[in-house]
A = this chain, B = another copy of it.
Amino acid sequence: MRKRIVIVGVSSAGISAAAAARKTDLDAEIILISEETRWPYSRCGLPFVLSNEVPSFKEVRLFPPSYYRLMKLDLRAGISVKSVNTDTKTVQMETLDQQRELVEYDRLVLCTGAASAIPPIQGIEKRGVFSLRTVEDGMRIQKWLENAENAVVVGSGFIGLELAHALKNLNINTTVFERCPHVLPEWFDKDMADLVHEKIQKQGVKVIVDAKIEEILGGDYVTGVLAGGEQYNADTVLLATGARARTQLAKQMGVQLGKFGAIQVNSRMRTSIPEIYAAGDCVESFNMITGHATLSLLGTTAERQGKIAGINAAGGYATFPGVLHSVVSSMFNFEIGATGFTEQYAQQNGWETTAGTITAKTRAEYFPGGKPITIKVVAENDLGKIIGGQIIGGEEVTQRVNLLSVAIQNQMSVSELAKADTCYAPSVCSPWEPVILAAETTMMRRNRRREP
C-alpha cells in the first residue's frame, strides 16, 4: 500500500525531508504543508537581499515550481495545521479562507521551525522595530529602510552582524548593541571577537558591547533606544536576538519536549510518538563531542536532520551524528566562521583547554592579493583533542571551518592535525597551511604546559 508522509513546515528541514523521503520511497505520497503562500525559500539568504548582494527576494526561492512536480511532492501553501490526532493519525488543516480539511498520515514529520525571539523590552511594539524571519519580514524591512537614517541592531550574532553589514551597504548609520562582553558571544572567544569588533568599527559601524537595551524610545514610531542609561537616536531597530523553537503543535499532540523546550528526538529524528518525526529548528539536537542536548538553530543542521527524518519516515534507515554548530558568513570585506566549542564555553563546562592562535596570509607572501587570516584552535588538555575552532579571514574561511569540523568529528588531536598532508600553490594558499600552523601552535603550547 502507498504510504502517506505528511510534512508540516517547508523551510530547510521540511524540504530536505521531502527530498530524502522521495529518494527512499519512490511511490510514497508526500504532502508538504506550508503556512506561507510563497514557494519555499532560503531564510539564510534574506540578509543578503537587504544588503543588495542578492538583487531581490524572488531570487532566494529554493527550487523552481517544476521541482515539486518532478519529485511528486504535493506542496500545499497558505495552510495552517490546527491540530493533529495521533490516535486516528489525522491532521486538521485550515486554508487562508478558513476551509478545513482532515488529512490522514502514515508518517508525520514536524518541521515547524522557530520564531524570532523577541526580548521583553519596553517599547518593542513601536513602528520601526523589526525582526527578520520571513520574506515578508524582509520586504517590510527593505521598504522601511528606504527612509531610514539611523539604525540599531540588537544582538551581534551572525544574523546581527549580517544585518549591520546590510545597513551599512545602504549607507544607514548603524550601531550594534550586544548584551555580552563581546560580539559573537556564542561563537567566538573574546580575543577573536575583539578582532571582529575592530574590523566592523573600521567599516564605520559602531559596536557597543556589555550593553542591554533598556527601552525603545518614541511615540508610535521609534526615535531611539536607551542603553546603559544613555540615549541613542534611531529610526529603525532590527532585533537579532535569536529564535525559539515553535512547539505549540507538538505540545498539543503530546510529543515529548527536551530540556531546552524543543522537541526531543532520537538519532533517527523520531519523536516520543513512533510515527512522528521532527527536524530542524523545532528539535533539540545533541552535541557531536559530548552527546549532550543542545539547540542548533542552523539551516545546515535543519537540512541534515530533515534528510535523516525523511529517510526514516519513508522506511529507510539513517542516523544523525549530532552537531558541532559549524557556522560561517561573509560581511564587509571579510569572512568569519567557527565550529565546536569556544574556549570560554569549554572552560565554563569543566574542560581544561589549550588554545593556539596564528595570523597568516591566504596566499604566498609574495603572491599579490593574499589576505590576512587569523585562526584559533581549541584543544582539551588530556589527549589534546580538538574541540573547537574560530576563523576570521579575507577569503577561504568556509572550507577551513569544515576542515576543523571534520577533525573534531574524527576526534583528532592537534598533534595529528599538525601532520596533515596539505596541498600548496603560491596563488591559492601559503606553504604552511594556517589551520595546520594553528594546530601546531596549540600542540606546542600544550606540550610546554605539560612539562614539569
Chain A residues near B (Cβ < 8 Å): 12, 42, 44-45, 48, 53-55, 59-61, 158, 288, 298-301, 303-304, 320-330, 335, 337, 339, 364, 366-368, 396-403, 405-407, 409-410, 412, 416-417, 419-429, 431-433, 435
Contacts and interface: CB of A to CB of B under 8 A. Distances in A.
Contacts of A301: 421
A405 B422 contact: yes
A335 B321 CA distance: 32
A424 B328 contact: yes
Contacts of A303: 431-432
A423 B367 contact: no
A302 to B, nearest CB: 10
B330 A428 contact: yes
B423 A339 contact: yes
Nearest to A329: B425
B335 A428 contact: yes
A303 B364 CA distance: 14
Given A54-B368, A366-B54, A399-B403, A45 B423 contact: no
Contacts of A402: 399, 403, 420, 422-423, 433, 435
B422 A326 contact: yes
A44 B423 CA distance: 12
B60 A366 contact: yes
B427 A326 contact: no
Contacts of A299: 424, 431
A405 B68 CA distance: 37
B366 A428 contact: no
Given A42-B364, A367-B48, A339 B398 contact: no
A302 B85 CA distance: 67
B432 A397 contact: no
A44 to B, nearest CB: 6
A417 B407 CA distance: 11
A300 B208 CA distance: 44
Given A367-B54, A410-B412, A432-B303, A423 B403 contact: no
Contacts of A421: 288, 300-301, 304, 321-326, 339, 405, 409
Nearest to A335: B428
Contacts of A428: 328-330, 335, 397-398
Contacts of A420: 402, 405-406, 409
B426 A366 contact: no
Contacts of A320: 419
B288 A429 contact: no
A403 B406 contact: yes
Contacts of A412: 406, 410
6 contacts: A44-B364, A45-B364, A300-B423, A303-B432, A320-B419, A328-B428
The interface centre, meaning the residue of A48, A328, A398, A419 with most chain B CB atoms within 10 A of its CB, is: A398
B396 A53 contact: no
Contacts of A367: 45, 48, 53-54
A323 to B, nearest CB: 6
B426 A417 contact: no
Given A366-B45, A397-B428, A399-B396, A422 B54 contact: no
Contact of A326 (B12, B304, B325, B423): B423
Nearest to A55: B368
A405 B426 contact: no
Contact of A54 (B60, B300, B410, B426): B426
